[in-house]
Amino acid sequence: MAIRIVTSEDDPEGNPIRYVRLSTDVTKVELSTWADSLPGNARLTIESRSSELSRTEIVDVVSPHVTSVRVTIADLDD
């Protein structure tokens, strides 16, 4: 599993903010398990390099566990 937290901070109200990168081998089950371990008030920005999971799939898996999630799909050539 390759879910890498790039930054981990809190907003002024103490809510966790995470910027996360996903590798190409992350599965829905791994992503859901990881998201379930986060506080419910977390806000995520996720960069995915996964050709396996679409932006919609990532949002669908993660959003029930956190307050908000934004997903970008990075070009594998970057």
pTM over 0.75: yes
Q: Is pLDDT at 71 greater than 60 in this prediction?
A: yes
The boundaries of the domain holding residue 62 are: 3-73
41 located within any domain: yes
CA dihedral for 38, 41, 47, 52, sign (positive or negative): positive
18 located within any domain: yes
19 located within any domain: yes
Confidence of residue 74 (pLDDT cuts 50, 70, 90): confident
- Taking residues 57-71, report their average pLDDT: 94
42 located within any domain: yes
31 located within any domain: yes
Confidence of residue 52 (pLDDT cuts 50, 70, 90): confident
Question: What does the pLDDT look like over 11-50, one tens digit per residue?
Answer: 999 999 999 999 888 899 999 999 999 998 999 999 998 6
Per-residue confidence (pLDDT) for residue 77, from 0 to 100: 56
78 located within any domain: no
How many domains does the chain contain in total? 1
